[in-house]
Chains A and B, each alone.
Chain A
């Protein structure tokens, strides 16, 4: 089965729509959403409604730290993120907020694990920045492939049976076979706010039969997404950074 995995959509309708279109065109059969549906972007209602609809049709979704902050507090976040969360909270209705509140922290599906942040302690919302972080995550789970997001920069780590690590920055559109003999951690780039220097939206296709993973990039209407952020009085940097991809 071909999975399409999306992470860190962050209320960016234009980016998410573009990614969904490409994923459907590439015949993705099941959608996985790795959290952070809201925060930063100016279309949280549309994004949450779309996620709810996808979940109703069989998609897997897990919770991100921004989704959690909508229903709790954003005081641990930086200033811009806090402003965006306060604004988002006012925009969402009760059903949308409940959807976010009830999202699971992680979902195991066969020998795959889906989680927003580093998996050894998902509630701590740790980033996977290095092979050391990746090793911590991989040792904590028996899964063959763990998918996570949170850091907004694509990376692919593996751990051999003798606990030797490899790290790799995946090339766009080059499928990589995730060999059975080792464990893999696929860190996704962000749909709605890429930070790896490439402003195009990022998502992943994974073929469960051949175990091939493909990192995809999708150009989208950045100007509209940025304008909507400005029109709604959100911090300007949240609009400007989209075209810079950082």
Chain B
């Protein structure tokens, strides 16, 4: 883990400056079945390949952003703000 992550605000920085939150997933509707909530809390796809993830520039500008990262090589990724999600991902912006 020595790759550099591209913060949309600060540019390329060592990944050790960032905190990883999780894959981008949508929050279930308030009245969803409990099993759906359990999946939301405990299950992740953990793709081999491209996945969209939440990152926080902890030791930098302290902004949250999204990065679409290739988990097989780490270096190949794009990052963008949450409000740019729709044009950057097949997934729709939702209640995360």
A binds B: no
Instruction: Give A residues with C-beta under 8 Å from B.
Output: none
